[in-house]
Amino acid sequence: MQGARMVVEEPIRVASLLMPAKQIFFPSLTKIMGTLGPRSRSVEVLSECLKAGMSVARFDFSWLSDEYHQETLDSLRAAMKNVKKLCAVMVDTVGPEIQVINKSGKPIELKADDHVTITPELSKEPSCEVLPINDPALAKAVKQGDTIFLGQHLFTGSETTSVWLEVVDTNGSDVICLVKNTATLEGFVFMMHVSQVHINLPTLSESDKKVISSWGSRNKVDFISLSYTRRAEDVCELRDFLKTHNLEETQIFAKVENVEGLEHFDEILKEADGIILSRGNLGIDLPPEKVFLFQKYAIHKCNLAGKPAIITRVVDSMTNNLRPTRAEATDVANAVLDGTDGILLGAETLRGSYPVETIKTLGRICAEAEAVYNQSIIFKRIARHAEPMSHVESVASSAVGAAYRVKASVIVVFTSTGTAARLIAKYRPMIPVLAVVIPRLKGNSLKWSFAGSSQARHCLGVRALWPILASPDQVGLVGPSEESGLALALSHGKAVGLLKPNDRVVVFQKIGDSSVFKVIEVCD
C-alpha cells in the first residue's frame, strides 16, 4: 500500500471517482500525438483532431508517396488556420527495417506447422512457400530457434494479421522457418522483426536521407523520430545530417524499440532531445513481463534528465471500436502516473474508424490520471537528482513549488530557445504552462530575420507546455517591454478559459544573467 501512495493519495482518489471530468481548452497536460493517413487527412477531420487535443502530427514514410504526405500536411495547415491551434510536425524514419514487398497485393495465407523460406532473392513472388526480403545478410545473423515476427503492423503474433516464425535451418543466404500460427498477410508491405538479433543495416537508411533532405527540409519539420535507435552514434549521425540540410533546429526523438537500444539507453538519452518507447516492437524483443519494467525505468530517466518521454501502442482496440478496453484505459492512466510526456497514436488515427473520438477519449483518461498525480514526491525526487543545481534551474524549480503553494492557475514563462520552458516542465507542474516564445533576431551578410516559431512548436512535445509566439513589438524588440508579453499571455489565458479574475499566476523569466519569478493576481 505504501508503494501505491507514492503516486496516488487516498482522499484525492475517491474525490476523482465522484467528480465529473472537467471540460477545458487543454484536454490534458499530457500531449497527444497522431499519425496521419487515409482516415485523418481531410481538413474537416484534422480540424476536429486539433480541437480534440492533438498537438503533434506524425508522418510515416514507410509507405505512400511524398506527394501524398504533402497534400496531408497542406490540409493540416489549413485546419490549423481554421481552428487557430498550433500543431508540430514529426517525420518518422523507416530505419533498418526488413521488409517483404508484396507488389501484387494478393493475400498470403500461412498455416501453422508449415514451412516457409525467407530469401534475399527479390525477383521471387511472395507466397506461402517463399518470402523475399531486402536484407541479404539475415541468414548469417540468425540461428536455429530464433524467433521472427512478420506482418503489416506487427502485433503480437497471436491474431490473424501477423505471423510468428521459428528458425529451423539456414541454406546459404536462405532461412527456413516453421510457421507457428495460422495467419493471412494482407497488404503491399510486411514488416519483419527478428527478436534480439542485430540487423546489419544502417539506422539512417538512404531512403530516410532522401525524405529528410527533400520533404523534411522543404517543410522545416519540427521533429524526426529516429526508428530503431541502437546507439548514441545513431543520433549524432542524424544530427550531423540535419545540419547539412539547414535543419539545425529540428529536434531528434530517439525511438527505442529493441534490446540494443535498451542496453545503450543512457547514452542515447544524453544525445537525443526526447525518447519514444516503441512498445510494439519492444513487446516482441522483450518477454511480455519485462516491458512494463523498462517503461518505468525509461520514463523515470527521462524525467530526471528533463527530456520528453513518449509511449506508443496504447489503445489498439480503438482502431475498430468506439471504446478502449478497460486494460487499455488503465495502461494509459498508469503511463501518465509514471510521468510520460505524451502518447503517440498509430493505427488508431492513421486508418482507424474513430480518430477524433480516440483523441478525445485519450485526453479524458490522461486528465483523470493527472488529477491524482502526486507531484510533490516527483518534485522532490527530481530536485534531489539535480543537486547541485544551476542558478536558473534553482529558480525554475522554486517557481513550480510556489505555484503549488499559492494554488496558481497558470505558470507563464518567457523563453527564446525553449530551455527555460523545459526547465519549468521538468518539475512536473500540475497546471498549464504558457510559454511566451520571444523571437530572436538572426542574420547573415544578406538579410536579417526573426526566429522562434520552431521553438514554439517544440513545446508541443513536452508535458504541460503550451506555446504563445510573441511578435517582436510585444517583447520590447521594437516597442513596449515585457509587460506587453505578459498581457498577451494573460489575455490568451482568459480567452481559452484558464484564467478568471482573482486567479494567481506565477511568472518566470531571465533578466540578463539572473532568473526571477513573481506571483501576480489577475485583475478584472
Give the torsion through C-alpha atoms of 192, 90, 37, 364, to 10 deg: 100
Residues 300-325 as b or e (16 or more Cβ within 10 Å = b) = bbbbbbbbbbbbbbbbbebbeeeebe
Q: What mean pLDDT comes out for the span 363-392?
A: 93
**How far apart are alpha carbons 426 and 182 in whole angstroms?**
47
Structure confidence at residue 7 (pLDDT): 45
Give the torsion through C-alpha atoms of 105, 110, 116, 120, to 10 deg: 20
Residue 384 pLDDT exceeds 90: yes
Identify whether the C-beta of residue 275 lies closer than 8 Å to the C-beta of residue 253.
yes
Cell numbers 474513430: residue:
354
Q: Sorting pLDDT into bands at 50, 70 and 90, what band is 99?
A: confident
Give the burial class of 524: count Cβ atoms within 10 A of its Cβ; 0-12 exposed, 13-18 middle, 19 or more buried.
Answer: exposed
Identify whether the C-beta of residue 152 lies closer than 8 Å to the C-beta of residue 132.
no
Q: What mean pLDDT comes out for the span 63-71?
A: 91
Q: What is the mean pLDDT of the chain?
A: 89
Residue 102 pLDDT exceeds 90: no
Q: Sorting pLDDT into bands at 50, 70 and 90, what band is 472?
A: low
**How far apart are alpha carbons 236 and 241 in whole angstroms?**
9
Residue 370: phi, psi to the nearest 5? -65, -30
Q: What mean pLDDT comes out for the span 201-228?
A: 95
**How far apart are alpha carbons 240 and 296 in whole angstroms?**
31
* Low-confidence winner among 223-237, 283-297, 304-318 (lowest mean pLDDT): 283-297
My answer on whether omega of the bond before 467 falls inside 30° of 0, hence cis, is no
Q: What mean pLDDT comes out for the span 225-234?
A: 96
CB atoms within 10 A of CB 293: 10
Identify whether the C-beta of residue 57 lies closer than 8 Å to the C-beta of residue 78.
no
Task: Write out pLDDT tens, residues 240-255.
Answer: 999 999 999 999 999 9
Q: What mean pLDDT comes out for the span 289-313?
A: 95
Identify whether the C-beta of residue 273 lies closer than 8 Å to the C-beta of residue 309.
no
Q: Sorting pLDDT into bands at 50, 70 and 90, what band is 445?
A: low
HSE toward the beta carbon, residue 425, CA cutoff 13 A: 34
For 497, the 3-state DSSP assignment is coil
Residue 92 pLDDT exceeds 50: yes
Structure confidence at residue 482 (pLDDT): 63
**How far apart are alpha carbons 356 and 49 in whole angstroms?**
5
Which pTM value belongs to this model? 0.90
Residue 228 pLDDT exceeds 80: yes
Give the burial class of 391: count Cβ atoms within 10 A of its Cβ; 0-12 exposed, 13-18 middle, 19 or more buried.
Answer: exposed
Closest to 179 in 3D by CA, of 197, 198, 199, 157: 157
Residue 11 pLDDT exceeds 80: no
Grid cell at residue 226: 529516429
Residue 16 pLDDT exceeds 70: no
Identify whether the C-beta of residue 265 lies closer than 8 Å to the C-beta of residue 232.
no
Percent over 70 (pLDDT), the chain = 89
**How far apart are alpha carbons 68 and 99 in whole angstroms?**
21
Structure confidence at residue 186 (pLDDT): 83
